[in-house]
Structure 1
Amino acid sequence: MADPRIVSLIPSATEIVAQLGLGQYLVGRSHECDFPAQVQALPVCTEPNFEPVGSSAEIHQRVSDLLQSALSIYKIKTDILAQLQPTHIVTQAQCEVCAVSLSEVEAAVAELTQVKAQIISLQPATLADVWDDMRRVAEQISPEKNEKEKLAEAAIAPLQARVQTCRQRFASLTHPPTVACIEWTDPLMGAGNWIPELVTLAGGRALFGEVGQHSDWLSWPDLLAANPDVIIVMPCGYDLTQTRQATQALCQNSSWPKLQAVQQGRVYLTDGNQYFNRPGPRLVDSLEILAEVLRPNLTQPRYKTVGWEPFVSAEITADSALP
């Protein structure tokens, strides 16, 4: 039996394949797949149909315009797929804004009659879904027929152990701080899907978003009325630098200084692109980041400056520089 040839069209799937020990079979990736570092040398099989730069509001408008015009947000490089001749393509049906859609992948494969690839579509909304996805990828791709289950469980077990450690240390603590996780800054969006679950495991109480449900838009009056103890900013696709810039714009709103999280210095920025936005193995890292932010007296800051940082507004920085 020939070795599999895997193309991953979403970063979380790439990380799942690597966690399962199947990374040597990857032959292509999406334009956003960048972890583990060695995958960056693989051919790129997708690209955005819009310019992904500018303010949060500008990016939101470009994406909205494409959706309203019934146009795809991303496109597949079918010529690259044809050259790679994959046996398996891993994609997603979770969010058409995050990556190429399942229907687009199916259409591309149908167009390339010489490509006989099995399409594996992931749609995780909770941690349990991620474990199930890992088992399914192992079952459908692993060339070792008699070792598929062992392969999956060996990859999942250490991740589950880390989750259990957080659950035992933090989830039962009294007086959990109320937490607003912001998935987009202009317009405001509260984080749903797996994020409220992670907040609970880290010893907090998520104010917006429901476990397993898509993220939803959030109004400033709602945020002000909820008045969270902690605000964690994790814009989809943004690294720490981009999140810092977006939050500087966010704090220009007149309601911002009225929030107790702002007044008490409990606003935190995260690298949502590398952690919180990717429903794969590193959601466990995301959980541990939340634990560092919410329970600093009980954790060592291993991810600080890499995965998260406290927010310091430009105004405060400028004021502190005065004699």
Structure 2
Amino acid sequence: MSRIVSLIPSGTEMVCALGCQNQLVGRSHECDFPPGVHQLPSCTEPTIAVEGRSREIHERVSAKLEKSLSVYRVRTETLRKLQPDIIVTQTQCDVCAVSFTNVEQALKETLNSQPALIALHATNVQGVWDDLLQVAESMGRIQEGRELLATYQSRIAAIAGPNQDLNARPTIACLEWMEPLMAAGNWVPELVHLAGGQSVLGQPGAQAHWITWETLAAADPDILLVMPCGFSLARIEEELAVLTHHPLWPKLRAVQNQKVYLTDGNQFFNRPGPRLVESLEILAEIFHPTHFHFGHEGHGWRGLGPKER
């Protein structure tokens, strides 16, 4: 039985969804789903303080990147003790998880054997499913992977099918960071389209990008979704004032029409793994509340109340 270390939350969720949670021997410091994985040894850690407000975190990350330094480090001694056969890592974003280069360097320094490196690199929904099948093949679970993928695609089709012929789609803006503002990219605009909306700030498969308040105001979306990377609903609530106290905030159509929604970006939208299906369900509940109800309201998303605006 292979010993698996996953250094990215989406990879951990894929391994577990494929029925191999009992083979996991290590995880990243951010892996917290499904229940039980937090008991495994953590093999990574941040090189910056992750507490504080959005602006402070942004400045710390930017300072590291400007010096070509990593935002995370591999705990090489922990990795050496675990002696994994397979390591799941990523090449998509150096700000989201430990980089592929860091993992390679750590292996050279600590392990005599050479474990198989599985690098996830999705930038769109199809890429996520390709990553899933890659993980499945590496663990000898390709048939299980195909069956799991068929289930996911069926759930997606049940939402996307009725929305494909919509003549008028609500315009949607998705914020991946709060200060400064960042528009969500990669798979998020595609999920918006599948759920029956029109993304006005992000393009499918393109990286998330910084925007100004003036850009947001000019787009003036029908619906505004707040989904900061790494932030739970409670964490968003702590910092809502950075949005609601801006002079352009009350001028937004979504604010005036009570169409602002907070979503758990940490557990759903910013994890390119199995729960992107739940992310699509969240969007469907928000865009079409009379047609879809999956039970995500309250823990996966909520509307912004009148007193909060």
**TM-score, normalising length from structure 2?**
0.97
Counterpart CA distance in 1 for 2:167 and 2:241 is 33
1:68 aligned residue: 66
- 1:273 and 2:266 correspond: yes
Structure 1 position 179, deviation (Å): 0.3
Counterpart CA distance in 1 for 2:148 and 2:22 is 16
Q: Where does the alignment leave 5 or more consecutive residues of structure 2 unmatched?
A: none
**TM-score, normalising length from structure 1?**
0.93
Query: Residue 194 of structure 1 contacts residue 211 of structure 1 at CA under 8 Å; is this kept in 2?
Result: yes
Sequence identity of aligned pairs in percent?
Answer: 48
SS of 2:239's equivalent in the other structure is helix
- 1:248 and 2:246 correspond: no
Q: Which amino acid aligns with 1:112?
A: T
Structure 1 segments of 4 or more deviating over 4 A? 313-316
Pick aligned residue for 2:98 from 97, 100, 103: 100
SS of 1:298's equivalent in the other structure is coil
Structure 1 position 115, deviation (Å): 3.9
Counterpart CA distance in 1 for 2:98 and 2:294 is 35
Matches for 1:34-183 after TM superposition, within 5 Å: 34-142=32-140, 148-183=141-176
Change (3 A) 1:176 1:315: closer
Structure 1 position 248, deviation (Å): 2.6
Structure 1 position 61, deviation (Å): 0.5
Counterpart CA distance in 2 for 1:116 and 1:4 is 13
Structure 1 position 314, deviation (Å): 5.2
CA deviations 1:14-49 (Å, max 9, x no partner) are 001111112111000000001011111111101111
Counterpart CA distance in 2 for 1:213 and 1:294 is 23
2:301 aligned residue: 308
- 1:210 and 2:203 correspond: yes
Pick aligned residue for 1:295 from 271, 277, 288: 288
Q: Which amino acid aligns with 1:196?
A: P
Change (3 A) 1:254 1:301: farther
Q: CA RMSD in A?
A: 1.2
- 1:222 and 2:220 correspond: no
Q: Which amino acid aligns with 1:100?
A: V
Change (3 A) 1:210 1:315: closer
Structure 1 position 83, deviation (Å): 0.5
Structure 1 position 301, deviation (Å): 5.3
- 1:258 and 2:236 correspond: no
Q: Which amino acid aligns with 1:33?
A: C
SS of 2:149's equivalent in the other structure is helix
Counterpart CA distance in 2 for 1:116 and 1:223 is 48
CA deviations 1:64-115 (Å, max 9, x no partner) are 1111122210011000000000001100001000000000000000111324
Counterpart CA distance in 1 for 2:219 and 2:9 is 33
Counterpart CA distance in 2 for 1:68 and 1:50 is 14
Structure 1 position 163, deviation (Å): 0.5
Pick aligned residue for 1:6 from 4, 9, 19: 4
1:235 aligned residue: 228
Moved more, 269-278 or 113-122: 113-122
Q: Which amino acid aligns with 1:230?
A: I
